[in-house]
Structure 1
Amino acid sequence: RRGATDHDPLAAQAAADAPPEAQAPPVVTFYPSWWRDPIVKDGTHVGGTGYLWGPGDARGRDLTSVLDVGIATPWTHPGAIPPPAAEPPRPRGPRWIGGWVFLLALLAGGLGTWSGWHTHPLGTDLQTGLACALAVFGLGMALSAFLGRTGAGTVFWALVTAALLAGAAALPRDITTDWKEATWKPAAVAQVRSEYDLGTGRGTLDLTRVHPAPGQTVATDARVGAGNLKVIVPADVTVRMDLDVGVGDIRLPGDRGEDVDVRPGRHRNVTLAPAKGTAGASRTPGTLDLTLGVGMGQVEVSRAAS
């Protein structure tokens, strides 16, 4: 040791007492770092390689989360965040059948109405179609207890259909589905029929050539289910009229204005005297006894020119 350099005892003592140089932890590439391993006396792994200390959110990047290392009981640090559990599949609810029920009700209503359109009155056709649609709505709501599901819309349309069915049942029986125009013009008293009838349309009864003899009474009945009934009476006779309109308007000679006053349940008894300056005004005139009725529409009575 004679040729060796003499060491400074103070420097050697300071170097021995100095702490080790700080080093960065090794980068994890394929295997977990030493500072993630659990402390075991014999150096073997007993559990997983979760943190013994440090942030708990780093467990998701551990190697055991990717590779199956065959550990029977994984070791879990109290601060570690467990992996998210997969959500169980939601059970599939019942299917909505409200739209199909509505379409089938429209189809059934259309077919039921069209089946007797040219052979039955309007009220009967509408009742048949609406009853078919209401039956489909009821059947759909009954099936929804076992197959599918219907909502409040189906109940609403069923109530609307029931209200329309009640309205169709109140329609007069003489309203037909075909619009027609008819003109009745008897040329003498003998040609006046006891009644004139029209389902739906515009009917005109021209009585200008009917002149009853003094003291004679000629009676007739004219009715229109839905539409307009116009009656023209001669100026030299007395006219007694019994007018009945279900829903609509009545216009008589002398009424002013062109406004239509539509009201339900209109009934009037009117007597028209012969016009002044005519032969009937100076002697005992004949009489026309008219019964006029319209289910829905207007009754119009006018005087012929003298």
Structure 2
Amino acid sequence: MNTTDSAKRIEGFEDTVKDFWVSRPRRPHHGRKLAGVASGIGYRYGIDPTVVRVAFVVLTVFGGIGLAVYLLGWLLLPGEGDEVSGIESLFGQGQSSMPKGFALALGVVLVPMWLWSFSGSWFDGGAFFGLALVVAALYLLHRSRGHLRRPTPTVPAAGTAGTTTVTGDTGVWGRPVSSAPPTWDPLGADPLGWRLPDETSPAPSPQSEPPAPPRRKSKVGIAVMGLALAVGGAGAALAAEGVPWFTPAHVVGLVLAVLGLGMVVGSFRRGGRGLVWLAVPLSLAGLVLSVVPLPHVGGGFGDLETTPASAEQVLPVYERTAGDLLIDLTRLSGTDRVTTTVRVGVGNLAVIVPPDADVRYNCEAGVGTMECLGQERTGIRIPELRGVDYGVDGEGGPRITLTAQTGAGNVEVLRG
């Protein structure tokens, strides 16, 4: 591997794209977690592979494109010790440790994976944004660091035409010096002109290297953390005010987008590694929200407990974005007629009705437990409960039409 910093930098868009393909990352045998795509990118451009792995997770949750990009890298990036990538070996361009059957199966899986990624996501347009972010990050990385850590392509072995024989002395990193032919001069100088030390002369005493200068702490992580908290706080405030687009899933997506851009910038400025610890739990939260989308509910945050004294005091809607609700309707009597909706985004709600009331109810919950006048259901995406209950005295008494909804939490409709 060539690590000299004096190599000529890459200029121009077309040259950058061509050079990226020629010197694309190799998937190493050691340090990989799955296929070595993240570790190969990290080693090629001097980035912590953990940051690359988290970026793949964020892109998978944020727009669904991360898994498709990873599989594409598995197919297009050669492995360490291989002449070509798995897809190139299918067309007879060289040898690869990836079996041709596996490469073909991986290519078949990629087609529906990419179609699924762009068919829709819990963050609108997230796949297109994620793909643009990947392309821009790779382009900028190669423009700034493509001249460093360049893998030497494997040269064809002697006696072969057009193909390369992979042996223990060759690989994508090139032929080691120890395996070079004896006629090759690594110094490019006349051996007779070398001045070798006398065997009897004492070896020079090793000199200790000067200590490395202290590494300057980057402020990228702190700045991005503050920006992410500001974006999250503003999004949560807009969600509480009832702005339709700002659902919990969208707010998490915006914060992840800020963290993703921050990690890309931090990879250039040698900072931002601490953002991983915030991106991981948010990615898991985004995954949960993509499985169980929470309904958009206004009303703000906090608990609400009320006991209307008459039918006129019963509001048509009781709601909270997050919190617990307790609505006590036991003071209704006689011929009172009320229709009300009680809903909460995240939290528990309970509605207490009179013992003799005729209740027509509709209970809904995204995830949690519902217990509505004798009917119970628990789980994720629970089917709604509908029914009519006339109470202990049969038909007659106050008439209540009730809708109780929660995104995540428990729903209870009980007799007083």
What TM-score results when the alignment is normalised by the length of structure 2?
0.40
* Cα distance in 1, alignment partners of residues 261 and 361 from structure 2: 45
CA distance in 2, matches of 1:136, 1:200: 29
Q: Distance in 1 between matches of 2:233 and 2:318?
A: 28
CA gap of 1:186–1:224, structure 2 versus 1, over 3 A, is: farther
Q: How does 1:218-237 map to 2 (within 5 A)?
A: 218-237=338-357
Aligned to 1:264: 380
Partner AA of 1:178 in structure 2: F
More displaced stretch, 101-110 vs 243-252 = 101-110
Is 1:247 the equivalent of 2:359? no
Question: 2:322 is aligned with what amino acid?
Answer: T
Is the CA contact (8 Å cut-off) linking 1:206 and 1:232 kept in structure 2?
yes
1:268 is paired with a residue of what secondary structure?
strand
From the superposition, tell whether residues 165 and 101 of structure 1 become closer, same or farther in structure 2 (CA, over 3 Å).
farther
Distance across 2 between alignment mates of 1:109 and 1:149:
16
Unaligned segments of structure 1, at least 5 residues: 1-75
Residue 401 of structure 2: aligned partner: 289
Amino acid at match of 2:302: W
Instruction: For 1:303, give the aligned amino acid.
Output: R
1:302 paired with 2:411, answer no
Q: Equivalent residues in 2 for 1:1-306 (5 A)? A: 80-84=200-204, 86=206, 101-115=220-234, 118-121=237-240, 123=248, 126-141=252-267, 143=268, 147-148=269-270, 158=279, 161-165=282-286, 167=288, 170-174=293-297, 178-188=301-311, 190-211=312-333, 213=335, 218-254=338-374, 263-266=379-382, 267-275=384-392, 278=393, 281=394, 287-304=399-416
Structure 2 CA distance for partners of 1:126 and 1:179, relative to 1, 3 Å: farther
What letter corresponds to residue 174 of structure 1 in structure 2? Answer: V
Is the CA contact 2:224–2:262 (under 8 Å) kept in the aligned structure 1? yes
- Pairwise CA distance, 1:297: 1.6
Q: 1:158 to 1:101 in 2, by over 3 A?
A: farther
Which residue number in structure 2 is paired with residue 12 of structure 1? none
Give the equivalent residue in structure 1 for 2:62.
none
Deviations 1:14-49 (A, max 9, x none): xxxxxxxxxxxxxxxxxxxxxxxxxxxxxxxxxxxx
Higher-Rg member (1/2): 1
Alignment size in residue pairs: 211
> 2:296 aligns to what SS in structure 1?
coil
Q: CA deviation at 1:219?
A: 2.8
- Mark the CA change 1:202 to 1:233 in structure 2 (over 3 Å): closer, same or farther: same
Residues 1:132 and 1:184: Cα distance change in structure 2 (over 3 Å): farther
Cα drift, residue 149 of structure 1: 7.7
TM-score, L = length of structure 1: 0.52
Per-residue CA deviation, residues 242-289 of structure 1 (Å, 9 max, x unaligned), is 100122222244589xxxx863222222332320xx3xx2x6566422
- 1:168 & 1:93 partners in 2: Cα distance? 46
Q: Distance in 2 between matches of 1:129 and 1:176?
A: 23
Contact 2:390 2:396 in 1 (8 A): no
Query: Quick check: 1:120–1:176 contact (8 Å CA) kept in 2?
Result: no
More helix by share: 2
Q: What amino acid is aligned across from residue 387 of structure 2 in structure 1?
A: V
Instruction: Output the CA distance in 1 between the equivalents of 2:260 and 2:211.
Output: 33
Is the 2:357–2:398 Cα contact (8 Å) retained in structure 1?
A: yes
**Deviation of the 1:80 alpha carbon:** 1.6
Closer, same or farther in 2 for the Cα pair 1:187/1:139, shift >3 Å?
Answer: same
**Rounded Cα–Cα distance in structure 1 between residues aligned with 2:237 and 2:279:** 27
Corresponding letter in the other structure for 1:251 = E
Structure 1: which amino acid aligns with 2:327? L
Q: Any gaps of 5 or more consecutive residues in structure 2?
A: 1-195, 241-246
Letter of the 1:181 counterpart: L
After superposition, the Cα gap between the structure-2 partners of 1:192 and 1:148, relative to the gap in structure 1 and judged at 3 Å, is closer
CA contact (8 A) 2:300 2:322 kept: yes
Any idea what SS the aligned residue of 2:257 has? Answer: helix
Which amino acid letter does the alignment assign opposite residue 106 of structure 1? M
Which structure dedicates a bigger proportion of its chain to strand? 1
Percentage of identical aligned residues: 25
Q: Cα distance 1:117–1:83, how it changes in 2: closer, same or farther (>3 A)?
A: same
Cα distance in 1 for partners of 2:398, 2:230 equals 53
Residue deviations 1:143-182 (CA, integer Å, cap 9, x gap): 1xxx54888x877865655444555674443277632323
